[in-house]
Amino acid sequence: MQDREIVHGGPVPIYQQVASILRELITSGELTTHQALPSESYLVQQYGISRASARHAVAVLRDEGLAYTVPQRGTFVGSAPPSQ
């Protein structure tokens, strides 16, 4: 993830750029099913973005069915949590 850059002030909104990076990590297999997505704090620090942009990017992935959130645990790759 370190080699990817965000273009601040560019034509593509920051949250869409971050969602695109995360989507690429998922579709390439770098992040696998039920693996945790990077935390909002990590995304903020790594890309110099606001927490709102990080949160919005993750919400886009959830809306696309690429991620799910488990309260008090985090957000993970996949469309649903594993059966327990």
> 27, 44, 35, 31: which is closest to 68 by C-alpha?
35
What is the predicted pLDDT for the residue at 67?
A: 96
User: For every one of its 84 residues, what pLDDT tens digit does the chain have, with 9 covering 90 and above?
Assistant: 557 889 999 999 999 999 999 999 999 999 999 999 999 999 999 999 999 999 999 999 999 999 999 999 999 999 777 765
What are the percentages of helix, strand and coil residues in the chain, rounded to 5?
40, 10, 50
User: For residue 2, how far is the Cα from the chain centroid?
Assistant: 14
Task: Give me the domains of the chain, ranges plus CATH numbers.
Answer: 14-70 (1.10.10.10)
